Amino acid sequence: MQPQTAFADLPSLDGISVLVVDDEADVRDLLTFVLEECGAEVRAAASVPEALAAIALRVPDVLVSDISMPGEDGYGLIRRIRQIEAELGVQIPAAAVSAYADPETRAEALAAGFAIYVPKPVPIYDLAALVATLASRR
């Protein structure tokens, strides 16, 4: 009998590539760890320029991005991604995550081009489920 882990009941993300963008290293590492435990191939970026460079190398199946980052924020990132998607020949389903849980932040994230908005902290099951849902839209 195999031991149960906290990840045993999470959706499988095998074969799904995810780009995680967050300026906070601890958050980036936690999101990366959870998604990798579910089987996703995860790349992480600490800023908009790093994220765009990662996308230029390989387009992810799903983007999970913080909104509030120094310099260019997550709104700017998703707007830039939406502008270059025609060149890439693909649309990248994207989730915004933010410590701001107010309706205005949610509305702005969706208007900017994110498919879904989730307030931090994101429960691990919710994170895995939203990535699986977004990947199915691609």
Residue pLDDT, tens place only, 114-124: 999 999 999 88
**Domain for residue 5, yes or no?**
no
What domain range includes position 26? 17-136
Q: What CATH code is carried by the domain that includes residue 124?
A: 3.40.50.2300
Residue pLDDT, tens place only, 4-42: 556 667 889 999 999 999 999 999 999 999 999 999 999
Mean residue pLDDT of the chain comes to: 92
* Residue pair 35/127 in contact by the 8 Å Cβ criterion: yes
In what order do the strands lie in the sheet containing 116-119?
41-45, 17-21, 62-66, 94-98, 116-119
Average the pLDDT over 107-131 and give the result.
Answer: 94
DSSP codes joined into one string, 76-113: HHHHHHHHHHHHHTS---EEEEES--SHHHHHHHHHHT
Average the pLDDT over 110-136 and give the result.
Answer: 94
**Domain for residue 9, yes or no?**
no
Overall number of domains in the chain: 1
- 96 has a pLDDT exceeding 80: yes
Given pLDDT bands bounded at 50, 70 and 90, which one contains residue 86?
A: confident
Residue with tokens 């991604």: 81
Q: What is the pTM of this model?
A: 0.92
Please give the share of the chain, as a percent, with pLDDT higher than 90. 79
Residue pLDDT, tens place only, 69-79: 999 999 999 99
Given pLDDT bands bounded at 50, 70 and 90, which one contains residue 1?
A: very low
| pLDDT at residue number 138 | 66
**Domain for residue 78, yes or no?**
yes
